[in-house]
Amino acid sequence: MAEISSETRFLHAIEMGLGAWQWGDRIVWQYGHGYSDTEVHQAFLASLGEGIRFVDTAEIYGNGRSERLLGQFLKQTEQPVLIATKFLPFPWRFGKSALPRALKGSLRRISTESVDLYQIHWPTPLLSIDTMMEGLAECVKSGMTRTVGVSNFGQSRMLAAYSALARHNIPLASNQVHYSLLNRNVEKNGTLARCKELGIRLIAYSPIEMGLLTGKYSADSPPPGARARNYGGLLPKLGPLLKLMTEVGQDHGGKSNTQVALNWVICKGALPIPGAKNAAQAQENAGGPGWKLSDEEVAKLDQASDLIFES
Ligand SMILES: NC(=O)c1ccc[n+]([C@@H]2O[C@H](COP(=O)([O-])OP(=O)(O)OC[C@H]3O[C@@H](n4cnc5c(N)ncnc54)[C@H](OP(=O)(O)O)[C@@H]3O)[C@@H](O)[C@H]2O)c1
């Protein structure tokens, strides 16, 4: 394990965050159907009440609505909140100056002078890694962000970003990637291990697999919208894993499947950022950290997850 730089240490101290993709997104999450501004505000407040104070948003979420809502919510609380947002490499964005320019837009929407983490949402062939890292370095030097990270970067791109930033004396703080009991690519391809080695915080998105690991969806009762299509093949195979999660949760005083799913991510050494549409979901998710699965339980869950993909 590498020594963690003082600038990024705060990220390693966070056990769990709150994802804000749900705040305004109609396409995947059906914002406006069953939940809206009031409910996500309550989810935010419930999370803060439980000590979750790291919020992950992006300029693209709800076409800016997520960042604007975060700005409104921050004005209504005295509590300190750590903010992460993301740069979207739209094809019309050229050159390193696109990054500080885009960050200024995010800061305006969030109504803040700086964020704690600014991430590249995903890699693009249109902007070289060196150019993007130069842009991120400018964002740090101008004081608009405390740290910088990447998202959806495979190992070789992540290493290139790490080295490019090192030339500016700036640590790569994080890589935000898909990681859950139903998607263990980063564990199996060595990205998680490499992150630990280099002191890069692996931030796990979709840690409850977009609701699948809660146990509330099945082949007979699939999730709405695009998720039904994407997960159609997986839903009939979830039974044994969900059953084991329930048994394991019962051995920890009745932890729910959702809480077991989040704790498993934490036990693996990653930082989960579950999204929540309302206070009840946020409240339940907040029970993910604060306790520990045993090594044996983690191994059993790993095995049950492997079996899904071997069948
Ligand atoms: N960097 C990237 O490319 C990227 C990609 C994806 C996500 N992210 C980030 O990661 C965050 C989390 O990922 P995600 O939103 O994709 O998936 P997730 O956190 O695995 O799942 C969130 C969804 O699960 C359901 N849910 C959450 N808590 C629940 C509970 N306690 N009980 C029952 N249902 C619950 C809700 O949807 P329903 O109620 O509709 O089932 C909620 O919208 C996002 O908000 C975003 O910040 C980043």
**Per-block mean pLDDT, blocks of 10 residues, the chain (311 long):** 88 98 96 97 98 98 98 97 97 94 98 98 96 98 98 98 98 98 98 98 98 97 92 96 98 98 98 98 98 98 96 70
Q: List pLDDT tens digits, range 249-292.
A: 999 999 999 999 999 999 999 999 999 999 999 999 999 999 99
Question: What is the residue with the minimal CA distance to atom 26 of ligand 1?
Answer: 211
What pLDDT is stored for residue 1 in this prediction?
64
- Residue among 52, 151, 178, 210 to mutate when testing ligand 1 (max atoms within 8 A of CB): 210
Predicted local confidence at residue 2, as pLDDT: 72
What residue owns the CA closest to ligand 1's atom 15? Answer: 275
Atom of ligand 1 nearest to the CA of 208: 20
Distance 207 CA to ligand 1 centre (A): 7
31 is an active site residue:
no
Give the pLDDT confidence of 58-97 residue by residue, as tens digits.
999 999 999 999 999 999 999 999 999 999 999 999 899 9
**Closest Cα to residue 56, out of 97, 86, 30?**
86
CA distance 59 to 104: 11
**Ligand 1 cavity residues, CB under 6 Å:** 19-22, 29, 56, 121, 151-152, 176, 205-211, 214, 216, 223, 258, 273-277, 281, 284-285
- Which of 85, 214, 227, 262 should be mutated for ligand 1, with most atoms under 8 A from CB? 214
The rounded distance, in Å, linking the Cα atoms of 11 and 71 is: 21
12: β partners = none
Which of 31, 35, 61, 205 is flagged as catalytic? 61
Whole-number Å distance, alpha carbon 94 to ligand 1 midpoint, is 31
* Confidence at residue 3, expressed as pLDDT on a 0 to 100 scale: 79
User: For ligand 1, what atom is nearest to the CA of residue 180?
Assistant: 20
The pLDDT assigned to 78 comes to 95
Rounded to the nearest angstrom, the distance between the alpha carbon of 203 and the centre of ligand 1 is 13
CA 268–ligand 1 middle distance (angstroms): 19
Counting ligand 1 atoms within 8 A of each CB, the residue from 281, 283, 284 with the most, and so the one to mutate, is 281
The residue contributing the CA closest to ligand 1 atom 8 is 205
275 CA from centroid of ligand 1 (Å): 4
3 state SS of 204: strand
Q: 261 C-alpha vs ligand 1 centroid, how far in Å?
A: 12
Q: Tell me if the pTM is above 0.95.
A: yes
* Helix, strand or coil, per DSSP, at residue 175: strand
Closest residue by Cα to atom 11, ligand 1, is: 19
> Helix or strand or coil: residue 222?
coil
